[in-house]
């Protein structure tokens, strides 16, 4: 039937559903020529048919009981909505559980969204407890969404993400256009301020391709053809700075990537090297302890490597050092790594046997018996107590028998945090220690 339609309100026609800040409502009144307000969907339906509405803005606290958002553009700030239209037919957007981590990601977004996001989240420190948003394809015995459309919907949904939980990549806020109708959907349940600014920004983007629904929306004075010369000059300067900023960001990102590649290589080398003082046991730990003690200034002999299979077991390492007075100093070293234990006096006492073999071989007693322990490897380094913590009597026995207990973690700290010019002080502290070795104060 041809004819002329009457009773139409000026567009864009916007419904505000729920309770908004009074300043936001004033802002909406300036933004849109036609506005309806209602505390819930039933009251809204009583004053306007949903088909007359170009956009519904949903405040926090509103819950949904029907499929009415499918007929309009929707911007939702509520975490209680049980579903919104998805990117393709027979798909929905749902609020699920809450984020459990503090860490978050800012995906790449168009510049205007990035600017507002920086304002919104400039003081953000955690997203723990924020609602997660997921894409859902409800089961139907009549129709099943093809896999290709599911993948396309997921791409549209994730490409619209404004902020994500870091470890799961779960979306926490998103804006996208529906493939079938072109209508916009925005789910922003974690935004509790600048809501009018977000609505303004999102509608400005949607208006670019939906002039029927938003025929006059946007700042026509922002077009260069309607600007005065001073405005065009400032706009030109702004655009030039934006390009300069992008070039600088690209350059910095490249430098960061190069440094991260170098860091990965250094980390790999550390894992195969000095960090074994924290992570290894057995031959690897012995090897790294020998390197550390050699760096400090001792002459180190790996005794185990010189033995034949038929020879009796001896100490892992033998240390030698000639002091400034020309006097020689000798020590035997037992190195042990433990998955759960913090070390034992029994393993230290193995050095008694090795000392007797040393005396038989050299004709003298060693000056020191050194027990080096990498303890409780099942725990992270910050969680590990020092070896023999609480075993005061065992430490006294070690000290009374010219013995010292060295924590391999302390050796790691010495090698990685001490100026090599102070290694001689570290060496002397080991030579003169009794019981538990405590690194010098500058470590």
In this predicted model, what pLDDT tens digit does every residue of 326-363 receive, in sequence order? 899 999 999 999 999 889 999 999 999 999 988 988 89
pLDDT of residue 242: 81
pLDDT of residue 318: 94
Which of 405, 385, 386, 381 minimizes the C-alpha distance to 395? 405
Nearest-5° angle of CA 310, CA 312, CA 432?
145
CA 248 to chain centre: 24
pLDDT of residue 215: 77
Whether residues 161 and 90 fall in one domain: yes
Domain end marker among 174, 197, 218:
218
Q: What confidence category does residue 4 fall into, taking pLDDT thresholds of 50, 70 and 90?
A: low
Output 73 or 309, whichever has higher pLDDT. 73
Q: Coil, strand, or helix at residue 163?
A: strand
159 domain-assigned: yes
Output 59 or 213, whichever has higher pLDDT. 59
Q: What percent of the chain has pLDDT over 90?
A: 53
Query: Where does 160-228 have alpha helices with state H?
Result: 195-207
Output 67 or 321, whichever has higher pLDDT. 321
Whether the per-residue pLDDT at 394 is higher than 60: the answer is yes
CA distance linking residue 354 with residue 97, whole number of Å:
62
230 domain-assigned: no
Query: Where does 48-161 have alpha helices with state H?
Result: 111-120, 147-159
Expressed in percent and rounded to 5, the helix, strand and coil fractions of the chain are 40, 20, 40
Whether the per-residue pLDDT at 65 is higher than 70: the answer is no
Whether residues 209 and 295 fall in one domain: no
Domain range for 31: 13-218
DSSP state of 134: E
Whether residues 56 and 150 fall in one domain: yes
Output 22 or 372, whichever has higher pLDDT. 372
Whether residues 287 and 425 fall in one domain: yes
Whether residues 428 and 282 fall in one domain: yes
Instruction: Please report, for the domain that includes residue 306, its CATH number.
Output: 3.40.91
In this predicted model, what pLDDT tens digit does every residue of 20-52 receive, in sequence order? 988 888 888 888 888 999 998 889 989 998 889
List Cα–Cα distances, 6 to 2, 3, 189, in angstroms.
13, 10, 37
Whether residues 305 and 208 fall in one domain: no
Whether residues 33 and 137 fall in one domain: yes
Q: What confidence category does residue 443 fall into, taking pLDDT thresholds of 50, 70 and 90?
A: very low
Q: What confidence category does residue 221 fall into, taking pLDDT thresholds of 50, 70 and 90?
A: low
271 domain-assigned: no
In this predicted model, what pLDDT tens digit does every residue of 69-107 receive, in sequence order? 888 999 999 998 888 999 999 899 998 889 998 999 999
Whether the per-residue pLDDT at 390 is higher than 60: the answer is yes
CB 317 within 8 A of CB 302: yes
Q: What confidence category does residue 304 fall into, taking pLDDT thresholds of 50, 70 and 90?
A: confident
pLDDT of residue 5: 57
Burial of 310 (0-12, 13-18, 19+ CB in 10 A): exposed
Q: What confidence category does residue 277 fall into, taking pLDDT thresholds of 50, 70 and 90?
A: very high
Whether residues 161 and 82 fall in one domain: yes
Domain end marker among 218, 237, 262:
218
Q: What confidence category does residue 134 fall into, taking pLDDT thresholds of 50, 70 and 90?
A: very high
CB 285 within 8 A of CB 374: yes
CB 92 within 8 A of CB 86: yes
Q: Residue 306: phi, psi to the nearest 5?
A: -95, -5
Q: Give the chain's domain count.
A: 2
242 domain-assigned: no
76 domain-assigned: yes
Domain end marker among 218, 252, 286:
218
Which of 416, 396, 412 minimizes the C-alpha distance to 404? 396
Whether the per-residue pLDDT at 66 is higher than 80: the answer is no
Whether the per-residue pLDDT at 295 is higher than 90: the answer is yes
CA distance linking residue 121 with residue 116, whole number of Å:
9
260 domain-assigned: no
Average pLDDT in the 299-316 region? Answer: 81
CA 33 to chain centre: 44
Which of 24, 14, 82, 73 minimizes the C-alpha distance to 44? 14
Whether residues 126 and 205 fall in one domain: yes
CA distance linking residue 18 with residue 62, whole number of Å:
6
CB 99 within 8 A of CB 132: yes
Average pLDDT in the 154-178 region? Answer: 92
CA distance linking residue 44 with residue 394, whole number of Å:
79
Q: Extract the runs of DSSP E, i.e. beta strands, from 251-322.
A: 299-301, 317-322
pLDDT of residue 223: 63
Q: What confidence category does residue 6 fall into, taking pLDDT thresholds of 50, 70 and 90?
A: low
CA distance linking residue 126 with residue 142, whole number of Å:
43
236 domain-assigned: no
111 domain-assigned: yes
Q: Coil, strand, or helix at residue 131?
A: strand
DSSP state of 384: P
Output 190 or 312, whichever has higher pLDDT. 190
Q: What percent of the chain has pLDDT over 70?
A: 95
pTM: 0.55
DSSP state of 238: H
Count of residues for the chain? 443
């Amino acid at each position: 039937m041809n004819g002329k339609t009457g009773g139409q309100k000026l567009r864009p026609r916007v419904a505000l559903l729920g309770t908004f800040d009074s300043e936001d409502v004033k802002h909406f009144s300036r933004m849109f020529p036609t506005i309806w307000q209602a505390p819930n969907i039933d009251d809204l339906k009583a004053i306007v048919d949903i088909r007359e509405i170009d956009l519904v803005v949903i405040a926090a606290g509103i819950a949904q009981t029907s499929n009415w958002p499918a007929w309009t553009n929707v911007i939702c700030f509520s975490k209680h909505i049980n579903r919104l239209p998805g990117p393709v037919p027979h798909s929905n957007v749902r609020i699920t559980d809450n984020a459990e981590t503090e860490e978050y990601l800012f995906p790449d977004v168009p510049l205007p969204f990035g600017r507002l996001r920086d304002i919104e989240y400039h003081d953000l420190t955690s997203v723990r407890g924020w609602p997660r948003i997921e894409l859902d394809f409800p089961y139907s015995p009549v129709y099943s969404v093809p896999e290709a459309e599911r993948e396309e919907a997921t791409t549209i949904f994730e490409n619209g993400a404004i902020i994500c939980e870091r470890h799961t990549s779960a979306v926490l806020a998103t804006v996208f256009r529906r493939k079938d109708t072109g209508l916009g959907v925005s789910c922003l349940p974690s935004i509790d301020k600048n809501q009018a600014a977000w609505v303004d920004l999102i509608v400005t983007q949607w208006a670019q391709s939906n002039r029927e629904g938003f025929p006059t929306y946007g700042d026509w004075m922002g077009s260069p053809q309607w600007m005065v010369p001073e405005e065009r000059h400032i706009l030109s300067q702004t655009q030039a700075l934006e390009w300069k900023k992008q070039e600088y960001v690209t350059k910095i990102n490249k430098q960061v990537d190069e440094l991260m590649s170098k860091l990965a290589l250094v980390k790999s080398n550390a894992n195969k090297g000095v960090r074994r003082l924290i992570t290894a046991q057995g031959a690897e730990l012995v090897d790294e302890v020998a390197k550390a003690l050699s760096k400090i200034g001792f002459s180190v002999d790996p005794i185990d490597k010189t033995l034949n299979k038929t020879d009796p077991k001896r100490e892992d390492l033998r240390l030698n050092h000639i002091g400034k007075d020309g006097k020689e100093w000798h020590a035997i070293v037992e190195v042990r790594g433990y998955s759960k234990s913090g070390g034992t006096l029994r393993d230290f006492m193995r050095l008694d046997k090795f000392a007797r073999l040393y005396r038989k071989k050299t004709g003298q007693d060693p000056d020191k018996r050194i027990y080096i322990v990498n303890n409780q490897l099942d725990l992270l380094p910050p969680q590990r107590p020092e070896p023999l913590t609480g075993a005061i009597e065992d430490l006294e026995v070690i000290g009374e028998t010219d013995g010292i207990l060295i924590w391999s973690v302390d050796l790691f700290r010495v090698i990685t945090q001490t100026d090599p010019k102070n290694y001689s002080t570290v060496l002397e502290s080991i030579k003169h220690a009794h019981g538990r070795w405590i690194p010098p104060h500058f470590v």
